[in-house]
Amino acid sequence: MATQNPDSAFETTEPVMAVSVKIPRYNPRLPESWFRSAESQFRLAKITTESTKYHHVVRCLEVEELDRFSSIIEACDDEVDSSSGQPYTNFKNHVLKASKKSYIELFEDCIAYRMGDTQPTETLNFLKKLWPDGAASAESSLAFRALFIRKLPESIGPNIAISL
In angstroms, rounded to a whole number, what is the distance separating the alpha carbons of residues 4 and 115?
Answer: 70
**Per-residue model confidence (pLDDT) at position 7:** 53
pTM of the model: 0.64
> What's the pLDDT tens digit per position in 28-41?
888 999 999 999 99
**Amino acid residing at 48:** T
Q: Are 30 and 10 in contact (CB under 8 A)?
A: no
Backbone angles phi, psi at 13, to 5 degrees: -90, -10
CA distance 158 to 105: 28
Give the domain ranges of the chain: 25-99, 103-163
Q: Which is more confident, 8 or 146?
A: 146
pLDDT tens-digit readout, 42-96: 999 999 999 999 999 999 999 999 999 999 999 999 988 888 889 999 999 999 9
Neighbours of 42 (CB within 10 A): 20
- For residue range 95-152, list pLDDT tens digits in order: 999 988 889 998 999 999 988 888 888 999 989 988 888 888 888 889 998 999 888 8
Measured between alpha carbons, how far is 21 from 83 in angstroms, rounded to an integer?
23
Spatial distance between the Cα atoms of 27 and 35, rounded to a whole number of angstroms: 10
Helix axes 87-99, 31-44, angle to 10 degrees: 160
